[in-house]
Amino acid sequence: MVKRLYDIALLFKEYVLFAFFAVVSIGLLALNDTPQIRSLRSLTVLSVGFMQDALSVVPNYFDLRRENSTLRELNLTLTDEVSRLREARLENIRLSQLLGLKEKGHYGYCAANIIGKTLQLLRNTITLDIGERDGVRVNMPIVSESGVVGRIAATSSRYSVGQILLNRELRVSAKDQRSRVDGIVRWEGGRMLTLQNVVKTMDVKPGDLVITSEYSTLFPPGIAIGVVNATHLTPGSLFQSVEISPGVDFTRLEEVFVITTQPDTSRTAAEAKIKP
């Protein structure tokens, strides 16, 4: 075995000697600390770094192909979902026309910046930089991309003040989106809202989304209010206490939208004829 290795080394003695002297040279260069050697080291490191940057495109190319494939699949899924939603809407329109049902109206929106805010009182409000000249009127709903914010309580020509959900005077007719259980949302202090008038036998669970209901004369139906955080049963009471975490983070809220479509006054007039 040793003789065989010796024969192989003798056969390739030029390469063996070259490798030996190369290793010795690299060792001497590593141990040497003269200015010329330091310059050579810097040049070597720079060259190696440049080559790594140039070659780094090769693995990134495969990463980009994999990411591009994932994005194509996601785009295909979203396109299919949009197509199905569009088809469902067209089907809903056809069925509504067939049954003679009125389609829910579309609403106009007016964007506004919050220029004043109170969050430490029992009647918290926000001040907006839009007013009557922008078409804002009292009782118009205020919303954000996260859901219900409140309602317009007072206006001037250029500004308006809105009651927010964290205001003890504001009540919103709402329902559990999953179980369709109705109730009234109000704030009693703290960080949570309360869904009231919910019988303890009703199906309301933590995680359920609470939205505005069709019974509200101020807010359009289907706007998110918050998510059920917890439910509590009080001994001897017919109702359960439902805690709701607001969808809107009022501490960070800066921009809102006012729904400028006025409610149908003929409905309120008809309902007012029936005295309780």
Cα–Cα distance measured from residue 231 to residue 208, given in angstroms and rounded to the nearest whole number: 11
Cα–Cα distance measured from residue 165 to residue 150, given in angstroms and rounded to the nearest whole number: 5
pTM beyond cutoff 0.85:
no
Low-confidence residues in the chain, pLDDT < 70: 1-13, 15-18, 21-22, 24-62, 96, 100-106, 263-264, 275-276
Strand extents, DSSP E, the chain: 109-117, 123-128, 141-144, 147-155, 160-167, 172-176, 182-187, 193-199, 209-212, 224-233, 239-246, 255-259
Count other C-beta atoms under 10 Å from residue 209's C-beta.
16
In angstroms, how far apart are the furthest CA atoms of the chain?
117
Are 256 and 119 members of one domain? yes
Query: What residue has token string 């200015």?
Result: 35
Output the pLDDT for position 8: 66
User: Is residue 96 one of the residues assigned to a domain?
Assistant: no
Are 39 and 112 members of one domain? no
User: Is residue 63 one of the residues assigned to a domain?
Assistant: no
User: Is residue 114 one of the residues assigned to a domain?
Assistant: yes
Q: Shortest CA distance to 170 belongs to which of 219, 231, 222?
A: 219
Are 136 and 8 members of one domain? no
User: Is residue 83 one of the residues assigned to a domain?
Assistant: no
Choose one of 55, 80, 97: the last residue of a domain. Answer: 55
Give the CATH number for residue 231: 2.40.10.340
Split into its structural domains, the chain has a count of 2
User: Is residue 29 one of the residues assigned to a domain?
Assistant: yes
User: Is residue 242 one of the residues assigned to a domain?
Assistant: yes
Find the domain containing 176 and state its range.
107-262
User: Is residue 101 one of the residues assigned to a domain?
Assistant: no
Residue range 143-200, pLDDT digits in tens? 999 999 999 999 999 999 999 999 999 999 999 999 999 999 999 999 999 999 999 9
Are 137 and 205 members of one domain? yes
Are 124 and 198 members of one domain? yes
Are 111 and 236 members of one domain? yes
Find all residues with CB under 8 Å of 96, minimum gap 6, and list them: 102, 103
Output the pLDDT for position 3: 64
Output the pLDDT for position 73: 79
Output the pLDDT for position 85: 83
Output the pLDDT for position 124: 97
Asked if 192 and 245 touch (Cβ cutoff 8 Å), the reply is: yes
Separation of CA 273 from chain center: 43
User: Is residue 80 one of the residues assigned to a domain?
Assistant: no
Output the pLDDT for position 40: 62
Output the pLDDT for position 84: 82
